[in-house]
Amino acid sequence: MKIVVIGSAGRLGAALVREYQGKYDVAGFNHAQLDLSNLDKIRGKIGGTQFDVLVNAAAFTNVDLCETQPDQAFRINAEAPRVLAEICGKKNAKLIHFSTDYVFDGEKRAPYTEEDEADPISVYGESKLAGEKNVLAAQNRHLIVRVSWVFGPDRPSFIDGMIKRAQENETVDAIADKFSTPTYTHDIAKMLPQFFDGEVEGGILHFANAGECSWQEYAQWALDCCREFGVPAKAKTVGALTLNDMKDWVARRPVYSVLSTAKYTQLTGTPPRTWREPVADYIRRFYSKK
């Protein structure tokens, strides 16, 4: 089986390529090789490549920058997926396209299911929702996987920034009134192959590690793990900030965007790991030996 990963230098794409090397015939395109804002380039490069499954792990993810560059956001996050879905349709190949918890408005106070109506409150969320609709309109068995708070070793994320700050400062803070779930790239890479088969039903699927937390709780657990695994840090506790404290933010963020993984568990018979476990794994593996 030939797998092509778009966004192979990103946090998620790099994890996918690493996981599948040796198991599949896998190739990756990074941003330098394939700029998703250039639709003609997509048609030329992807259209001229043979594959069975195309995984789009690339996106314009800078939430604030999307507000000031909406045309670019929609070109990369909405139009590019439409072109990819069309190409996959012609090749009778499957598209697996990653989306985000930011398609929801955050007003709900229980985990969002795949059936809940998406109502984004930012240009980023709007562009990602438009991309979902464009992929679904292709009417193939393409799969959209919504993920949240993705972390992994290939590119720094929130958890890496917090550990770095805690190593440099006596005090650190994080937002205490915004809730979602960390999701480990390793866990995404492990679960995805069961959906590679073109006969497996497509549509929308939520995948995140189990449970929910605030950024403050997430950061505190990371520092607790650092202490347990002998990773040096000056700060030991994480203070509380509120969303109202974030005066520099341009875009609105959903306050609560926890994704329900009940459908994934029902389909596969295996629930995702609780978020604390992969966070501990990540720190043990990638920080304890530094």
Q: What is the pLDDT of residue 139?
A: 80
* Least confident range of 94-98, 174-178, 197-201: 197-201
For 3-42, the pLDDT digits (tens) are 999 999 999 999 999 999 999 999 999 999 999 999 999 9
Q: Are 191 and 20 in contact (CB under 8 A)?
A: no
- 173 pLDDT above the threshold of 80: yes
- 234 pLDDT above the threshold of 90: yes
- 282 pLDDT above the threshold of 80: yes
Residue 227 pairs in a beta bridge with: none
Residue 66: both structure tokens together: 């999307």
* Backbone angles phi and psi of 99, in degrees to 5: -125, -160
Residue 282: both structure tokens together: 């990540």
Q: What is the pLDDT of residue 198?
A: 85
Asked whether the whole model's pTM tops 0.95, one would answer yes
How many of the other CB atoms lie within 10 Å of CB of 241?
17
- 284 pLDDT above the threshold of 80: yes
Q: What is the pLDDT of residue 290?
A: 58
* Mean pLDDT, residues 147-151: 98
Between 123-136 and 80-91, two packed helices, what is the crossing angle to 10 degrees?
20
* Least confident range of 49-63, 146-160, 276-290: 276-290
Query: What is the full DSSP assignment across 228-262?
Result: HTT---S--SEEEE-GGG-TT--S---SB-PBP-H
- 199 pLDDT above the threshold of 90: no
Nearest alpha carbon to residue 126 among 213, 12, 251? 251
Q: What is the pLDDT of residue 159?
A: 97
* Mean pLDDT, residues 159-166: 97
Q: What is the C-alpha separation between 96 and 136, in angstroms, rounded?
A: 11
Percent of the chain with pLDDT over 90: 97
Active-site option among 124, 218, 256, 282: 124
Q: What is the C-alpha separation between 268 and 260, in angstroms, rounded?
A: 14
* Mean pLDDT, residues 157-183: 97
> Over the chain, what is the mean pLDDT?
96
From the CA atom positions of the chain, what is the Rg in Å? 19
How many of the other CB atoms lie within 10 Å of CB of 3?
24
Domains with residue ranges and CATH for the chain? 2-156+181-210+257-273 (3.40.50.720)
* Backbone angles phi and psi of 108, in degrees to 5: -70, 155
Q: What is the pLDDT of residue 201?
A: 87
Q: What is the C-alpha separation between 285 and 290, in angstroms, rounded?
A: 10
Annotated catalytic residue 124: yes
Q: What is the pLDDT of residue 151?
A: 98
Query: What is the full DSSP assignment across the chain?
Result: -EEEEESTTSHHHHHHHHHHBTTBEEEEE-TTT--TT-HHHHHHHHHTS--SEEEE------HHHHHH-HHHHHIIIIIHHHHHHHHHHHHT-EEEEEEEGGGS-S--SSPBPTTSPP--SSHHHHHHHHHHHHHHTT-SS-EEEEE-SEE-TTS--HHHHHHHHHHH-S-EEEESS-EE--EEHHHHHHHGGGG-STTS--EEEE---BS-EEHHHHHHHHHHHHHHTT---S--SEEEE-GGG-TT--S---SB-PBP-HHHHHHHS-PPPBTHHHHHHHHHHHTTT-
Q: What is the C-alpha separation between 203 and 29, in angstroms, rounded?
A: 24
Residue count of the chain, please give it.
290
